[in-house]
Structure 1
Amino acid sequence: MNILAIGAHPDDVDLLCGGTLAKYARAGHRVTVAIATNGDVGSTTLSRPEIAAIRHQESLAACEVIGADLIWMGFEDEWLFNDRETRTRFIDVYRQARPDIVIAHSTGDYHPDHRVAGQVAADARIPAAVRLVETSLAELSVIPKLYTMDTVGQLEQGLDVHVDISDVIDVKADMLSAHVSQKDWLTHIFDMSYIEFMRGQAATRGAEIGVAFAEAFREVPAYPPSRPDLPPLGHV
């Protein structure tokens, strides 16, 4: 299968669904990570182009941990909008990755870039399979199944899909550890320990299903149901 995870910022996917992606990659599936913004405001000393270039390299390193492909959309951090340009770019992300399963942000997330990325990912899913929605790439032959991922701080309740990531928690930590500049930024702005926070969130979701560590998701309902032939998320 082809798995596509779409994040607003360079470390979002690793933090919120990195374990699930690691499980798919370990099982031999193709994993693509698409990042909407370039993370160009996350530094106390560097210019925006400088920190954006660093965050691009860090994202490549994080993907390399599990052998994932990276699509770097390059929109400005904190200025992501649901407009024609953005939707067209997301449609081409779908058409480039050719996914069976897509994981994206919740539209109920606390962060505006997360909400917009989640909404555009949902809005681009069907047009990506429509021939007369013309872009530089060919349309999808099948509409993928869509899941939304947990929020930072677990602000949404009622997530109906849990994936046991106990056996890949250290791989997830390695993915996050590639984002050195973001670790420094979060320490500066929130006095937050990056890896400890991730492990705490994964432990909380794990306790909900009786395992050491888990990630939580919601399956987005669709009509007609998309890809009913696929196993549930994370069953690899």
Structure 2
Amino acid sequence: MTKTVIAVGGHIGDMELTAGPTLAKVVLEGGRAIIIDCTYGERGHPTIAPSVYREQKVREAQFFADTIGAELITLDYSDGFLPDDEAVAEQIAAVIREAKPDILITHWLRSMHRDHERAALAAERGAFLASIPIEEIDVERHSVPTILHAENWEDMEGFEADTFFEIPDEAFELWRTGIQEHAFARGETYGFRFIDYYSALMQVKGCLVGAQRAAAFKSAGTEKFALAGP
């Protein structure tokens, strides 16, 4: 059965990195994947001015989306300044109403990054807003069946994975090709080897579920969900 998945991240690169393999899997299986990046992530480079890095980040995000066959939406907020208000949640709700996702993926609610926490709250709030009637009676509401939090080494306080998606080789290779375009993922910003870390993490999680690779998530209290195998 075809699935639609929306992934909401605090910065360009967050959901590409953590949810990207699962999104690639969804597309390969005939589903629809949408990435919503809440900020440009333009303050994440120690030697490039934010205005210049912003343009680079947008190019990187589009390359990744094109590589795995996902749709990309970048909200117009600055890195480090994502507001905690209804406007962000309503923008996400509008996408949810249109796309009617089976799964919504976002950050875990506790993180070292405020933008991650606010993006997660906005995603959950957006899911609620999408589920209730609004004045425009011709706009359908939609209740997201499953909300998941992606495993991210920056968001690990209290995180315990309970949902695992097997990642086939083709999805992994598409993810790796796409994420390799991101300078931060290659370790060119602050030296952390993101690609190596998440590649190894998928193998570790795969060991837990009898697969070569798997992506791990924490459910938000909704019904657990399993995507079909490769």
TM-score tier by shorter-chain length is 0.7 to 0.9
**Runs of 4+ displaced beyond 6 Å:** none
Kept in 1: contact 2:128–2:143 (CA 8 A): no
For 2:75, what is the secondary structure of its paired residue?
strand
TM superposition score normalised by structure 2:
0.86
Q: 2:225 aligns with which of 206, 210, 232?
A: 232
For 1:37 and 1:188, the matched residues in 2 are separated by 18
For 1:83 and 1:4, the matched residues in 2 are separated by 20
Structure 2 letter corresponding to 1:19: P
For 1:79 and 1:133, the matched residues in 2 are separated by 30
- Once the two structures are superposed, residues 165-224 of structure 1 have per-residue CA deviations (whole angstroms, 9 ceiling, x without a partner) of 142322221121121x3246x4342x22232122122122222223222111122225xx
Compared CA separation, residues 109 and 89, structure 1 to 2 (3 A): same
- Once the two structures are superposed, residues 141-185 of structure 1 have per-residue CA deviations (whole angstroms, 9 ceiling, x without a partner) of 444421111122673543111111142322221121121x3246x
List runs of 5+ in structure 2 lacking aligned partners: none
Q: 1:22 aligns with which of 13, 18, 24?
A: 24
Structure 2 letter corresponding to 1:177: Q
Kept in 2: contact 1:16–1:152 (CA 8 A): no
Tell me by how many angstroms 1:72 deviates.
0.7
Percent pairwise identity = 23
Q: Tell me which residue corresponds to 1:59.
A: 61
Kept in 2: contact 1:95–1:139 (CA 8 A): yes
For 2:116, what is the secondary structure of its paired residue?
helix
Q: Tell me which residue corresponds to 1:170.
A: 173
Answer yes or no: is 1:126 the counterpart of 2:138.
Answer: no
List runs of 5+ in structure 1 lacking aligned partners: 226-230
Answer yes or no: is 1:85 the counterpart of 2:87.
Answer: yes
Q: Tell me which residue corresponds to 1:39.
A: 41
Tell me by how many angstroms 1:133 deviates.
6.5
Structure 2 letter corresponding to 1:4: I
Q: Tell me which residue corresponds to 2:146.
A: 145
For 1:182, what is the secondary structure of its paired residue?
coil
TM superposition score normalised by structure 1:
0.84
Q: Tell me which residue corresponds to 1:210.
A: 210
Q: Tell me which residue corresponds to 1:228.
A: none
CA RMSD of aligned residues (A): 2.3
For 2:226, what is the secondary structure of its paired residue?
coil
